[in-house]
A and B are shown apart, each in its own frame.
Chain A
Amino acid sequence: MKRKSIGELRVMCIDDDPFSIDTLTVALGNIGVTDIKSIDNAKSALEVIGSQSDGTDVILLDIHMPDVDGIEFIQALGANGYQGAVAVVSGAVDVILDMSKVLAIGRGITFLGTIKKPAKASELEALLNKLIVS
């Protein structure tokens, strides 16, 4: 769903690393995002997404995570009717990042793009601006 400003976006960050997720959350706050949900594992995120009615606009997803990794998460996300967008923020190699894009698009999920960790605030802003109506 398109929004009028970055401040209106509902953003979910999924990363098992507290240091990464804290950094990402601060950077998002600095570019004006106020509604940020941070979840440290993909399994819990799937439960939240499946149960919430208000809707997440975009998920910022890590790839290398224990238990359910980012690739498995995208596969599962396609099956549960998620209507928002996904972007991958990861240190994974390019072939894995490309795979995440193909998987998401193949499952009808809006794929905003990939950012190599560590994400720069300007990169996050450019990515999220794709969801803003002019």
Chain B
Amino acid sequence: MSAVDISAMIDIFGMEDKALFSSKLNSFIERFDRDIEKIDSAIEANRMEDIVFDAHKLKSASRMVGALALVDLFESIEAAAKENDLENVKKYFDQALGEALER
């Protein structure tokens, strides 16, 4: 999974709690795996509204665990889908998958 900025989680939760952060990261990974499949299916079916919705949610979740590279990529996916730009949606989606798999 992408590198995370622990200071972001400290700010969000108002304290440093390694057990809590570990639990949130595990929840995020489960969430990521599930929603990335939803986006993949939406790309296959060219359902841009669904891509916008799910990319927006994953962007927000990525921010909550300080996965900043993923935040930028899901923001790009969301923007490209709003422009009905499937080519760039696919490009940024592949980058998001690569970013996740790299770690």
Q: Interface residues of A, CB < 8 Å — how many?
A: 19
Are B56 and A64 in contact (CB-based, < 8 A)?
yes
Query: Interface readout for A18-30 with B: 1 if CB under 8 Å, 0 if not?
Result: 0110110011001
Binds B, one of A77-85, A98-106, A119-127: A119-127
B contact residues around A118 at 8 Å (CB): 8, 12, 60, 63-64
Which positions in B face A, CB cutoff 8 Å?
Answer: 8, 11-15, 20, 24, 27-28, 31, 53, 56-57, 59-61, 63-64
A→B interface (CB under 8 Å): 17, 19-20, 22-23, 26-27, 30-31, 64, 66, 91, 117-122, 125
- Enumerate chain B residues within 8 angstroms of A64, measured Cβ to Cβ: 53, 56
Flag if A121 contacts B60 (CB, 8 Å). no
Contact A91 B60 (CB under 8 A): yes
- When A and B form their complex, which 5 residue pairs have the shortest distance between CB atoms, in order from nearest? A121-B14, A118-B64, A120-B11, A30-B14, A91-B60
A117 near B20 with CB under 8 A, answer no
Enumerate 12 A-B pairs (CB-CB under 8 Å) in ascending A order.
Answer: A17-B61, A19-B31, A19-B64, A20-B60, A20-B61, A23-B24, A30-B15, A91-B63, A117-B64, A118-B63, A121-B11, A125-B14
Q: Which residue of A lies closest to B63 (CB)?
A: A118
